Amino acid sequence: MTHQRIVLAARPEAEAGLQHFRLETVDTPAVPDGHVLVKVHYLSLDPYMRMRMNDAKSYAAPVGLGDVMVGGTVGEIVESKQAGFAPGDTVVCMGGWQEMAVLDARQPGLVRKVDASKLPLSSFLGAVGMPGVTAWVGVNHIIEAKAGETIVVSAASGAVGSVVGQLAKAKGCRVVGLAGGAEKCSYVVKELGFDACIDYRRFPDFDALGQALDEAAPQGVDGNFENVGGLILNVVLSRMNAFGRVALCGMISGYDGQSLAIDNARLLLTQRLKLQGFIVSEHMSLWPAALKELGTGVATGQIRFRESVAQGLAAAPEAFLGLLKGKNFGKQLVKLV
Amino acid sequence: MTHQRIVLAARPEAEAGLQHFRLETVDTPAVPDGHVLVKVHYLSLDPYMRMRMNDAKSYAAPVGLGDVMVGGTVGEIVESKQAGFAPGDTVVCMGGWQEMAVLDARQPGLVRKVDASKLPLSSFLGAVGMPGVTAWVGVNHIIEAKAGETIVVSAASGAVGSVVGQLAKAKGCRVVGLAGGAEKCSYVVKELGFDACIDYRRFPDFDALGQALDEAAPQGVDGNFENVGGLILNVVLSRMNAFGRVALCGMISGYDGQSLAIDNARLLLTQRLKLQGFIVSEHMSLWPAALKELGTGVATGQIRFRESVAQGLAAAPEAFLGLLKGKNFGKQLVKLV
């Protein structure tokens, strides 16, 4: 039996392109003891993957040249050599960019069975998966959003940002999003229920974006869930109230090597701000509570989301490059079956 | 009765100078009900005062033009119209840059009686006062220093930095200071017991200072108590371990308007750092425990400190300008009697 996979063919010097990926057909390996063979239904594409293409110091090891690209997946077990897992089980796992994945099911959390009877399968890669938990941890444990506060979130229509805003709204916050383009902004306000959404592409400099934020957040900003960095972060920091909190989740504006300076660090002192970078996989103890709340929210329709679905593994690189430029609309997935 | 005072004569455009202060002789006002008249023995000079000379948004209102400069003082009550305070009482208060101060003793914390029988009077403006409590809050509640960690503190021979290092040493940390000049560095290591101290003046650029820090902190940096900002902060951030904490207490390098950018904000994310600005007067609930520990430390000789004492109120402006340039050695005071 063979399957297709996508490996890292070369490391980007600056902007990532199609030439950095290679599609291969390989023999599906035999399943060792303790392992399972998973047929992947959906592959999740996420901004963090861009960082893993670089050979730079970060929180996770880079993907090796010639190695399969990392990625979260949801699929079905077709063969099991580990008790507790059986063919037909639906699982979430880090299967990577490939059609079939052999995974060590003995490692805690690596292969996680899910009940797909009440929720769409793809939601376990979005609002009821890593992106949703990322939002939940940021809102509840880093920002600690409280009723009456103003919370700003960038990449607001995305997999993480959309959940951030809906969780903060449910807490009684005023929620302001930033997104690229009128269509996304309209969706964020009308469908997701944010109080306002700024099309950052219309305000390309500090003063203009700052003025737009002043109008959308007239009481200033108490909490910021940051996915973008750069200009957006500098503008939001300049509008923060005393004791504001910033959950630093991503800096997609700098993944190709652009400057990510915080221009006016004096503000951190004069406004007594807290900035904290975090990685959701380092808060595993919070996952069960988060997944329970998020699953209920999605099942009852309280938490809404949108997906961009590319068809077939070969479409993954282009979909991923589009994600880095904000061409997706909502959670970016690749459907493999 | 008349007394002398120093008022803010003009706001600095950039660097502060003698021309921004004015010495005046004024009639000592009558003491209203609820107030006390304090004869000031020592005036404390602290970097935060530079920020109060600017008309800029900050955590405290600027000093008004023509108003007496703010400042912590220790002195003796000579007249009291408030129960619980009597002539002869030794008090710590925000008396400002003047020989006599009339203060509202009904406001909680504004005039605080201290027992000067076991501790030197001036220590209530240093290690057993605001600077010491600042150090204590940063080490215990922002950095949360733990045994075995490496803690870096800038302005290490100063009133705050010297206590930071000694508290962290007592917790079992490796402590690295940064100070200006060989004499201060020698004092920091030999007298205060730091493990190492870097003379930052010898390493004026990022790479050189980084290399010096690599040698002094071979295991990387877990906690940073930051008094200076700018280049020093950027270098320390670049050497921080995962989950490092930065207590942002001061940014003396930018008080004259210099850039205070954090050049590589990506590190906050990749190393999951926490940066937090804080002001000690907003943590009043912690003061009693801090003052008790600091008072014991000073009384037993466990916490050591050094003072630079200027003589007479007229010497205050020059001493203050010297403090901003690091010309002081230890806690900068002005002795008024």
Calpha distance B75→B89 (Å, rounded) = 8
Do B269 and A248 count as a contact with CB atoms less than 8 A apart?
yes
Nearest-neighbour CA in chain B from A282: distance (Å) = 10
- Token readout for B302 is 């466990």
Q: What is the largest CA-CA distance in chain A?
A: 63
In chain A, the residue whose alpha carbon lies closest to the alpha carbon of B57 is: A270
Dihedral of alpha carbons B245, B251, B252, B254, sign: positive
CA–CA separation, A166 and B66 (whole Å): 51
* Helices A206-216/A231-238 angle, 10° precision: 50
Per DSSP, B16 falls in state -
Count Cβ atoms within 10 A of the Cβ of residue B301 and give its class: 0-12 exposed, 13-18 middle, 19 or more buried. Answer: exposed
pLDDT in the model for residue A109: 80
Identify all chain B residues contacting A277, using CB atoms and an 8 Å cutoff.
Answer: 268-274
Whether residue B256 is predicted with pLDDT greater than 80 in this model: the reply is: no
Provide the 3-class DSSP secondary structure of residue B199.
strand
Mean of the per-residue pLDDT values of chain B: 95
**Six token digits for residue A102:** 């052999």
As a whole number, mean pLDDT of residues B91-114 equals 95
What is residue A147's predicted lDDT score, i.e. its pLDDT? 98
Cβ proximity of B174 and B217 under 8 Å:
yes
Question: Structure pTM?
Answer: 0.91
Contact A272 B266 (CB under 8 A): no
Six token digits for residue A103:
């995974």
* Average pLDDT score over residue span B258-267: 89
The answer on pLDDT for B57 being more than 90 is: no
Phi, psi angle pair for A219, to nearest 5°: -95, 10
CB of A318 closer than 8 Å to CB of A18: yes
The whole-number pLDDT of residue B59 equals 75
Q: Is the pLDDT of residue B258 over 90?
A: no
Residues B65-83 have pLDDT tens digits of 999 999 999 999 999 999 9
Query: How far is it between the farthest Cα atoms of chain B?
Result: 63
pLDDT score of A255: 74
Both structure tokens of B109: 């914390």
Predicted local distance difference test score (pLDDT) of residue B115: 92
Give the number of beta-carbon pairs within 8 Å between A and B. Answer: 96
Work out the minimum CA distance from A68 to partner chain B, whole angstroms: 22
Find residue B23's DSSP bridge partners. Answer: B6
pLDDT of residue A311: 98
Domains and CATH numbers, chain A: 2-126+305-335 (3.90.180.10), 130-281 (3.40.50.720)
CA dihedral defined by A228, A230, A232, A236, rounded to 10 degrees?
Answer: 110
Per-residue CA distances from B273 to A67, A79, B151 (Å): 30, 42, 14
Contacts of A118 (CB under 8 A, 6+ apart): A295, A299
Contacts of A288 (CB under 8 A, 6+ apart): none
Nearest CA in chain A to B230: A265
User: How far is residue A301's CA from residue A298's CA, in Å, rounded to a whole number?
Assistant: 5
Q: At what angle do helices B231-238 and B206-216 cross, to 10 degrees?
A: 50
User: What are B158-186's pLDDT values in tens digits?
Assistant: 999 999 999 999 999 999 999 999 999 99
Q: What is the 3-state secondary structure (H, E, C) of chain A?
A: CEEEEEEECCCCCCCCCHHHEEEEEEECCCCCCCEEEEEEEEEECCCHHHHHCCCCCCCCCCCCCCCECCCCEEEEEEEECCCCCCCCCEEEECCCCECEEEEECCCCCCEEECCCCCCCHHHHHCCCCHHHHHHHHHHHHHCCCCCCCEEEEECCCCHHHHHHHHHHHHCCCEEEEEECCHHHHHHHHHCCCCCEEEEHHHCCCHHHHHHHHHHHCCCCEEEEEECCCCHHHHHHHHCEEEEEEEEECCCHHHCCCCCECECECHHHHHCCCEEEECCHHHCHHHHHHHHHHHHHHHHCCCCCCCEEEEECHHHHHHHHHHHHCCCCCCEEEEECC
Chain B residues near residue A259 by CB distance under 8 angstroms: 263
Instruction: Give the model's pLDDT for residue B181.
Output: 95
CA distances from B30 to B39, B93, B96, B101, B250 (A): 14, 18, 17, 11, 37
**Position A293: which residue type?**
E
- Phi, psi angles (nearest 5°) of residue B275: -115, 130
What's the CA gap between B67 and B134, in Å, rounded?
A: 26
Across the interface, whether the CB atoms of A251 and B269 are under 8 A apart is answered yes
Beta-carbon separation of B261 and A260 below 8 A: no
Least CB–CB distance from A265: residue in B262, B269, B279: B262
The per-residue pLDDT for B61 is 86
> Which residue is associated with the tokens 């902007």?
A15
Residue B252's pLDDT band, with cuts at 50, 70 and 90, is confident
**3-class SS at B80?**
strand
pLDDT 10s digit of each residue in chain A, 337 long?
A: 999 999 999 999 989 999 999 999 999 999 999 999 999 999 999 989 998 999 876 778 899 999 999 999 999 999 999 999 999 999 999 999 999 999 999 998 889 999 988 899 999 999 999 999 999 999 999 999 999 999 999 999 999 999 999 999 999 999 999 999 999 999 999 999 999 999 999 999 999 999 999 999 999 999 999 999 999 999 999 999 999 999 999 888 877 777 789 999 999 999 999 999 999 988 989 999 999 999 999 999 999 999 999 999 999 999 999 999 989 999 999 999 9
pLDDT one-digit tens code per residue, B8-38: 999 999 899 999 999 999 999 999 999 999 9
Q: Burial of A332 by CB count in 10 Å (0-12 exposed, 13-18 middle, 19+ buried)?
A: buried
Residue A272 with chain B: CB contacts under 8 Å: 59, 276-279, 282
- How close is the nearest chain A Cα to the Cα of B29, in Å? 34
Average pLDDT of the residues in B86-100: 97
Residue A252's pLDDT is what? 84
Share of chain B above pLDDT 70, in %: 100
Contact at CB, A276 and B275, closer than 8 angstroms: yes
Interface list for chain B against chain A, based on CB atoms closer than 8 Å: 51, 57-59, 229, 233, 242, 248-251, 254, 259-266, 268-279, 282
For residue B323, give both structure tokens.
């403090």
Q: What angle do CA B269, B275, B276 make, to 5 degrees?
A: 150
Alpha carbons A273 and B278: distance in angstroms, whole number: 8
CB atoms within 10 A of CB B1: 8
Give the span between the Cα atoms of A110 and A95, in whole angstroms: 9
Q: Which of A327, A249, A337, A254 is nearest to A45 (CA)?
A: A327
Contact present, B103 and B38 (Cβ < 8 Å) = yes
Type of residue at A300: T
- Distance from the Cα of B283 to chain A's closest Cα (Å) equals 12
